[in-house]
A = this chain, B = another copy of it.
Amino acid sequence: MNRRQLFTLSALSTLVSSVNASVKHVQKTITRSPFQPVKTLGVPTAAWQFKAGAKEFHLIAEPVVRQFANNFYVNAWGYNGSTPGPTIEVIEGDRVRILVTNKLPEKTSVHWHGLILPNGMDGVGGLTQTHIPVGETYVYEFIAKDSGTFMYHSHSDEMFQMAMGAMGMFIVHPKHPHFRPVDHDFAFMLMSWDIDAGTYTPKPHTMTDFNTWSMNSLVFPAIPHMVVKQGDRVRIRLANLSMTNHPIHLHGHRFKVSATDGGWIPEALQYADVTTDVPVGAIRVIEFIADNLGDWAFHCHKSHHTMGPMGHSLRNMLGVKHDDIAAKVQKLMPEQHVMAMGENGMGDMGEMVMSLPENTLPMMTGQGPFGSIEMGGMFTVLKVRQELPAQGEDVGWYTHPKGTVAAPYRP
């Protein structure tokens, strides 16, 4: 077991609390593999066994309770106890067999997005196969012809089942281990949800007014950090199954978009960028050398997508003095939650002790080395260090060289 595998395990450990306890599937340990395993942070890798000439996976479509962050649980739909479902990893040319058991309350099917396969294995309920009835297991079998980054998701009552989280990543590693090798290979599934304050179940008919934006069905500050060594080559695979583009922005580095769900982009056609706009139903893979030491923000640049689920229907209180009014109203309505907010902006939210409805994530949480980071949703951190820490040790925040931090001006 090498260092990389340890980091995968470390990332997986953050998942434990979010796995529906009722799920009994044993995630088999993946043995030494010829490829760099993908780290879908906070999401397990799918187990398989070699059987009748194929790598056989088993996906169980089922309701899951997913912990998006501390004290914030969501009634979702997923696979094998997780949303997104476990990441499937195979090698170019592999014969793949996938058993899909339907434990959802309605029929389902699974589409293998981006994979080139026989029409009857395409998973479009009604068009290419019978919808899988409740309680039944269907089998898909095909050869993973091309390496690349793909997805799987429901294609039966699609809007509803995808809005509930029925999706996962599907990675096909190149046959040749020297094809575009990297030191770290991360994956994130981008999703949006509309979960009313105090409730647990997403509203699957919402089209544009979502209030929760997740990476791997986790929200800041619960999204694990990416920890790498200075000089490492890093790949991040971004998949979007939400309802709007997500312009993902990396601080401190320039990356190149190296692939989509349509395959690898020739190197001669790549160019440097710092924000990649990931369309819906699409994948953008970015690659870069992590040459800049520090703690670098990595987030969606739609600023509402780096906020928590609360507060988007607030009145505009900017410039309105109302602290005392709030206190008076609170006395009259002791059962209600009354706050004075926004008089001078919202930046103090992160430090406010608020009485919140049940199962509601505060708008801004997450302490950094210099105070509240004042973020939520699709935000995490790339940590670039001179040396990686010992096994299981927290890398902590970056120690800045003297004189390199913005500070009070003393002329």
Contact = CB atoms under 8 A, between A and B. Distances in A.
A25 interface: no
Contact of A274 (B114, B203, B342, B347): B114
B374 A249 contact: no
Integer count of this chain's copies in the complex? 3
Interface in A236-283: 243-245, 247, 249, 251-255, 260-263, 265-266, 269, 271-275, 277, 279-282
Given A260-B273, A271-B263, A405-B120, A370 B126 contact: yes
B203 A130 contact: no
Given A345-B160, A370-B129, A409-B139, A318 B204 contact: yes
A302 B275 contact: no
Given A136-B408, A157-B374, A370-B131, A271 B277 contact: no
A280 B160 CA distance: 26
A127 B373 CA distance: 6
Contact of A303 (B159, B275, B296, B306): B159
Nearest to A157: B347
Interface stretch (A170-178, A308-316, A330-338, A352-360): A308-316
B274 A302 contact: no
A262 B251 contact: no
A313 B119 contact: no
Contact of A201 (B126, B243, B249, B316): B316
Contacts of A233: none
Contact of A374 (B125, B265, B306): B125
Nearest to A377: B159
Contacts of A126: 350, 366-374
B160 A294 contact: no
Interface stretch (A14-22, A27-35, A103-111): A103-111
Contacts of A157: 345-347, 349, 364, 374
Contacts of A281: 247, 249, 275, 301-302
A245 B307 CA distance: 19
Contacts of A209: 207-208
A398 interface: yes
A370 B128 CA distance: 7
A272 B404 CA distance: 43
Interface of A: 75, 99, 104-109, 111, 113-114, 116-131, 136-140, 155-164, 201-205, 207-209, 243-245, 247, 249, 251-255, 260-263, 265-266, 269, 271-275, 277, 279-282, 292-297, 301-304, 306-307, 311-314, 316, 318-319, 342-350, 364, 366-375, 381, 398, 400-401, 404-409
Contacts of A99: 409
B344 A106 contact: yes
Contact of A306 (B159, B201, B343, B407): B159
Given A253-B116, A296-B122, A347 B107 contact: yes
A374 B273 contact: no
Given A262-B275, A405-B128, A405-B129, A375 B158 contact: yes
Nearest to A281: B301
B406 A129 contact: yes
Contacts of A373: 124-127
A245 B155 CA distance: 21
A272 B277 contact: no
A127 to B, nearest CB: 4
Contacts of A129: 370, 405-407
Contacts of A409: 99, 137-139
Contacts of A367: 126
A138 B407 contact: yes
14 contacts: A105-B345, A108-B347, A118-B404, A120-B406, A123-B406, A125-B370, A127-B368, A139-B406, A156-B374, A159-B346, A205-B314, A205-B316, A247-B281, A280-B301
A136 B203 CA distance: 44
